[in-house]
Structure 1
Amino acid sequence: MSRPAIPAEIRRAVLVEAGHRCAIPRCGQTELDVHHIIPWETCQKHEYFNLIALCPICHRRAHNGEIDRKSLQQYKENLSREFNKNDSGIFEAEIVEIRRRITESNEEIPSYTFQFDFPDFQKAVERIISRNIEAWGYELLTEFREMQDNYIDYPRDESDPELGGPPPKSTLVGTYDVLRRDQKIISVRYNIDRYYTGAAHGGRTTRVQNFIARPFRPVTIESLIGSGNSLSDFATFIRQSLAQERRYDPEWLARGTAPRFENFSIFNIEKYGILFTFSEYQIDCFAAGEQHLRLSFHELKTVCDENVINELASYDL
């Protein structure tokens, strides 16, 4: 089978856990690979607990057996303990109430402003979650800068008041709501509002961040379904559930719920179930807006990893 890419949430978490340095003690290199402790050929899946950040040299040593699997597992266990012990609590971003904010502005043409808020969780066990979301915010900033760098500044007629003058400023604003936060789960829902210079109109997208806090790991659609279940069966179940909610055009519905992980990647873990979000144009027309489907943990057990569902369903009253 072809080897799928490591989900961005998992890869980011592995790198943040290691402080973006090789996990082998006293190595400290910053050019990194993500290595499967139990080889991919054996496990055939990307799981946070089985992944560790290694520099290319240590990665090669691990594959050659110079660093054995038991040692790698011990280094992995040490990382989380070291993170909580050594984290300074100092963020690059400024504090805004109980949030932090990444901001950047540029007045050169094309000008832009970037603002991304993220939660500042104070408990030691939750701090790595704040770090992961902050890292994602800086990834968005990098993407935003690249879009600006590719902007083509078409000649403007300075004599025409409508066409002359500088182009409109590009903007990106990221705001969030915490949908669930307890001793087990943190689930964050983001609105990303963008407008790029030269675009006909702006747009809003929904993005999500889901984490199990104890023991820490991101929750992705791949981990939710699990390797023992069929993506095709999951897609059929979601399609049938949506059809029971309201009448959708069959072609729209079939296309938007085709068995691809990205079609179901926008979900939030709530207290009693999971809220799936489908973007504009995915299963209905733009005017209909985002579509939502809320399913209980009990309903999802038939098509998802039952152990994962049981873990998400446990919470403190």
Structure 2
Amino acid sequence: MEANVKERKAPGKIRKLLKNKLTLVGLIIVALVVFAAIFADFIAPHPSDVTGSIDFSLMNQPPSSQYIFGTDEAGRDNFSRVLFGARYSLIMGVVVLTVAIGIGVPLGLIAGFWGGKVNSVIMRLTDIFLSIPSIILAMAVAAIMEPSLFNSMVAISFGWWPWFTRLVQAETLKIKNEQFILASEGIGASKWRIAFIEILPNCLSTIIVKASTDIGFVILTGASLGFLGLGAQPPAPEWGTMVAEGRVYLPTMWWQTTFPGLAILVTVLGFNLLGDGLRDFFDVRVD
């Protein structure tokens, strides 16, 4: 009976989610960005312009019917490069959050469920990392390593896992005293089983909401590193790098920074709107 009630409620919640116009806008934006990233090779009108194909006779062309986003200082099509830039940004977001969740979630579970000295050690280490702004920590780590897309992902991951540790530890502290957890302890279930089989599934909705909201900020942080020369290096069509390359031509050749900058803005906005909708869908609160 209870299962049937939940089944009836789920479609209703999904319909309510899709009726939210802002959430629907976010979903459409995210879908378009993912589509562009996957099929950029087929959509881009000039795919050879992504990392090569220098033609100085076409350099700094303004937006036109042939080059709708104009061309850059090497005569490459900006529209094609922006499309491929979506691939770099999504890879950045997915990899960083995968690493952050892979490190932060187990630590949060262990700290919250084991408690005592284990909790103190893990959470004090987490507090040390949280005391440093994520972008500053990422810049410091990236500056130590050779600038590249991979190293920028490592640098951002270095400061992102503590947020998930703090979140999951708080959720675990709330769940560990529930009746079903006490029942599992009463029948002799191991702590590892209780933490990862009983408690973790009950934290998934909160983790999903946190990840969906954070991916936009990860992309923004990655673009910031690219702008500072600490991320993907030219001629890679990473949006932050493209903005940095085009800023020297402002304001005359505005299109070189405007379109990759708008791509960052729209993508981050889309993920934030979608994250807010998922928060309402799962009815959770994420700090």
What band does the TM-score fall into relative to the shorter chain? under 0.3
TM-score (norm 2): 0.22
Considering Cα pairs closer than 8 Å and 6+ residues apart, tell me whether 1 or 2 has the greater RCO.
2
More helix by share: 2
